[in-house]
Amino acid sequence: MILANNLTKTYGNQIAVDQLNLDIPQGQFFGLIGPNGSGKTTSIHMLSTLLQATSGSITINGLDVTAHPQQVRRDIGLVFQESALDRMLSIEENLYFCAGLHGINKSAIKTRINSLLDLFELQSKKRASVGSLSGGMRRAVDIIRGVLHSPKVLFLDEPTVGLDLPSRRRIWRFIRNLIDDHKLTVVLTTHYLEEAAPCDNVAFIKLGKLVSEGSPEELIEQLGKTIVEVSGSNAEDYIKTLKLSAEDYMLDGRTLLIRVHKPQPNQVEQIQATLRDSADIISVRKSNLNDVFIWLSSKGQGTS
């Protein structure tokens, strides 16, 4: 559904996105993750026709986005990092205006708008100005706006920033249903990595470059499935005592995180035995996408 080939964007001599290749099939839930400034929004803007790539090519549903931007726009929905709603207009006015931009007339969309407003419990607010809504309500309207024309692809750039847990859950239930029932293809960027955990595929980008890609399970497997956390006053000394190589640990204040990834039997027991007398707390837990993120963010390319 989405193919990007050597996608690149430069600003002066700064490279925001550097030869990015993506191949996202229909119905996939795809996560683009990476540190602030790594090029996620820039990539999404190029994929969604809003920004001209410096070089490289993109096709969506078989259409080249540069040659056929209008046709591509019919197939895609967007939820921006910053709200795209007119705060002076009511929810209803915003949604009808947006439907108009897609060439859908008022009577054809009325039932759909009402059922979406019901779903997000916004029916009683539909005549309120968007500027008077809470942040969570506004985000829900942004999502409704993004899917109003039943797109085949939905781009979500940090869709749930600042939302409480029930609001986030409701949005994710809604999007999950669209993926399962309508084979919607979703491209998500988020800094809440637990939201990327249900993705089918995740690409990690850093300084505009794709550094690692795979299912969340594969990325966790590459990192190592177990993390040992050691707290104590001599975290620096523990590194020397255990002879850890730079890519195998992270120091977070007084806590040392060690990834267990080599097929080495009893590694956890050895760490525990070595540090038993000097460390305050030694805990063992399963790795998660947050660990993948901090390791890839700070330790460069390889984690295997």
Give the residue with the Cβ less far from ligand ATP, 36 or 70.
36
DSSP state of 229: E
Binding mask 63-102 for ligand ATP (x = CB under 6 A): ------------------x---------------------
Q: Which helix (H) or strand (E) holds 74?
A: helix 69-75
Examine residue 11 and tell whether it contacts ligand ATP (CB under 6 A). Answer: yes
Q: Smaller CB distance to Mg ion: residue 158 or 291?
A: 158
Give me the least distance between CB of 157 and Mg ion, in Å please.
6
Per-residue tokens: 213: 């890609």
Our finding on whether 185 is near Mg ion (CB under 5 A) is no
- Cα–chain-centroid distance for residue 38? 12
**Class of residue 79 by CB neighbours under 10 A (exposed 0-12, middle 13-18, buried 19+):** buried
Q: Is 41 in the site for Mg ion (CB under 5 A)?
A: yes
The beta strand positions in the chain, using DSSP E, are: 2-11, 14-24, 29-33, 55-60, 63-64, 76-79, 153-157, 185-189, 201-206, 209-214, 226-231, 249-252, 255-260, 281-286
Number of residues lying near Mg ion (CB under 5 A): 3
Residue 216's binding partner out of ligand ATP, Mg ion, none, with CB under 5 to 8 Å set by partner kind: none
Closest distance to ligand ATP from the beta carbon of 287 (Å): 22
Q: Is 131 in the site for ligand ATP (CB under 6 A)?
A: no
CB atoms within 10 A of CB 196: 24
- Which residue in the set 16, 98, 141, 210 belongs to the binding site for ligand ATP (CB under 6 A)? 16
Per the CB < 8 A criterion, the answer to whether 153 and 62 are in contact is: no
Least distance CB 104 / ligand ATP (angstroms): 30
Residue from 18, 22, 31, 34 in contact with ligand ATP (CB under 6 A)? 34
Question: What is the rounded distance in angstroms from the CA atom of residue 304 to the CA atom of residue 300?
Answer: 11
Residue in 42, 49, 212, 303 binding ligand ATP, rule: CB under 6 A:
42
> Does the protein bind ligand ATP through residue 36 (CB under 6 A)?
yes
Residue in 261, 199, 265 with CA at minimum distance from that of residue 225: 261
Which residue is listed with tokens 């999502």?
143
Smallest distance from ligand ATP to CB 157, Å: 7
- Contacting residues toward ligand ATP, per CB under 6 A: 11, 16, 34, 36-42, 81
